[in-house]
């Protein structure tokens, strides 16, 4: 193969590997944030005061973890973001009811 093709292949390999690492990092950060938000909701009594939001957040985080186990980082991040949003909605419901 010519040198030009080797350089192109190396550049493509570098970018594909660097992008996959970015997806991993962003998904893991989103899942950690969702887990923290869910813990906060549970600590403030969200299981009883905001049942729908709590159950939604818990299940969405579980799905995010399953997607991460399959290395589907973009879906894992999406479900983690939705879980965090449900937890935050639950926290606001808890504040209204207290």
Q: Domains of the chain: which residue ranges?
A: 20-97
Residue-by-residue DSSP string for 2-54:
-HHHHHHHHHHHHHHHHHHHHHHHHHHHHHHHHHHHHHHHHHTTHHHHSHHHH
Return d(Cα 96, Cα 62) in angstroms, integer: 27
pLDDT digits (tens, 9 = 90+) for 39-79: 999 999 999 999 999 999 999 999 999 999 999 999 999 99
**Among all chains, which residue has been given the structure tokens 């570098």?**
14
Question: Quick one: which of 95, 1, 97, 96 has its CA closest to 40?
Answer: 95
0.95 cut: is pTM over it? no
Q: Residues 41, 53: contact at Cβ < 8 Å?
A: yes
């Amino acid at each position: 193969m010519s040198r030009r093709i080797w350089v192109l292949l190396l550049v493509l390999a570098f970018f594909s590997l660097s992008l996959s690492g970015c997806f991993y990092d962003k998904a893991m950060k989103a899942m950690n944030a969702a887990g923290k938000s869910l813990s906060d909701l549970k600590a403030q009594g969200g299981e009883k005061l905001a049942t729908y939001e709590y159950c939604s957040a818990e299940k969405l985080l579980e799905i995010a973890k399953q997607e991460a186990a399959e290395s589907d980082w973009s879906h894992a991040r999406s479900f983690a973001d939705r879980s965090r949003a449900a937890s935050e909605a639950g926290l606001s419901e808890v504040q209204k009811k207290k």
